[in-house]
């Protein structure tokens, strides 16, 4: 609801192997793909064909005024437990309002974007690469640099979740190193003071 050209709540059911969306030019076919990309956590406004993050909110038509928010719920079948959680159905929700405040939910519980990314990575499914292939993307994949192509295969082979964890661990490690450096500096500052205090204690004891 409220996403791009969809002012009213609209429900799409993709329960067959192949679904075709047919409509005149500019009727909103690509907006459906954009909605799926968006709810999967897409952060690039360019990929979503907008300039600001609020551009995904319905901006009004001749029949209806603009809306204050956009919301997409993606219902995923998890009966095979490809994502290792107890739920047989996963509902990923993303909301945004005109103040730019956004929210992610998994089965109606508030979560961070990272949680959505981790959940999708577990199922080798993500917003970035081949899960949603838009117009022109095949050309992009074929002409992309080796590094960009590697990203594509990383997601396909399922190492993405470990890469996210690795990056988190590296960040933590960097923080810890900074803390250690700070502590060493403090120790260096305190050492002369400690020496003089030790001397004083020795004197007093004598
Ligand atoms: P084509 O066949 O030309 O690729 P399409 O059917 O894929 O077109 P989309 O690109 O999905 O169409 O939809 C474009 C329409 O969506 C335009 O009419 C545009 O005005 C409308 N639209 C995009 N963003 C918003 C928004 N935030 N609010 C209202 N309408 C929007």
pLDDT tens, 107-160?
999 999 999 988 888 877 765 556 777 777 778 778 888 888 887 777 767 787
Residue 172 pLDDT: 97
- Residue 63: CB partners within 8 Å, gap ≥ 6? none
Residue 56 pLDDT: 96
Continuous H helices in 135-205: 137-143, 146-157, 160-205
Residue 203 pLDDT: 96
Pocket test for ligand 1, best of 28, 59, 72 (most atoms within 8 A of CB): 28
| Low-confidence spans in the chain with pLDDT less than 50 | none
pTM over 0.85: no
Cβ–Cβ under 8 Å, residues 90 and 78:
yes
Check pocket membership of 58 for ligand 1, CB cut-off 6 A: yes
| C-alpha of residue 189 to centroid of ligand 1, in Å | 63
Cβ–Cβ under 8 Å, residues 160 and 126:
yes
């Amino acid at each position: 609801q409220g996403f791009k050209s969809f002012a009213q709540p609209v429900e799409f059911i993709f329960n067959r192997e192949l679904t075709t969306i047919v409509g005149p030019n500019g009727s909103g076919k690509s907006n459906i793909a954009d909605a799926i990309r968006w709810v999967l956590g897409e952060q690039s406004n360019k990929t979503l064909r907008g300039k600001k993050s609020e551009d995904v909110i319905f901006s009004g038509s001749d029949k209806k005024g603009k809306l204050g928010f956009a919301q997409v719920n993606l219902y995923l079948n998890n009966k095979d437990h490809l994502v290792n959680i107890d739920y047989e159905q996963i509902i990923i929700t993303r909301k945004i309002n005109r103040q730019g405040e956004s929210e992610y939910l998994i089965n109606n519980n508030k979560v961070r974007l990272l949680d959505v990314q981790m959940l999708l990575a577990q199922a080798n499914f993500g917003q970035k690469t081949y899960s949603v292939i838009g117009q022109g993307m095949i050309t992009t994949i074929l002409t992309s640099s080796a590094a960009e192509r590697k990203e594509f295969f990383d997601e396909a082979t399922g190492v993405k979740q470990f890469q996210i964890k690795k990056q988190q661990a590296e960040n933590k490690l960097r923080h810890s190193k900074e803390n250690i450096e700070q502590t060493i500096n403090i120790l260096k500052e305190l050492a002369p003071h400690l020496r003089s205090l030790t001397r004083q204690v020795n004197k007093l004891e004598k």
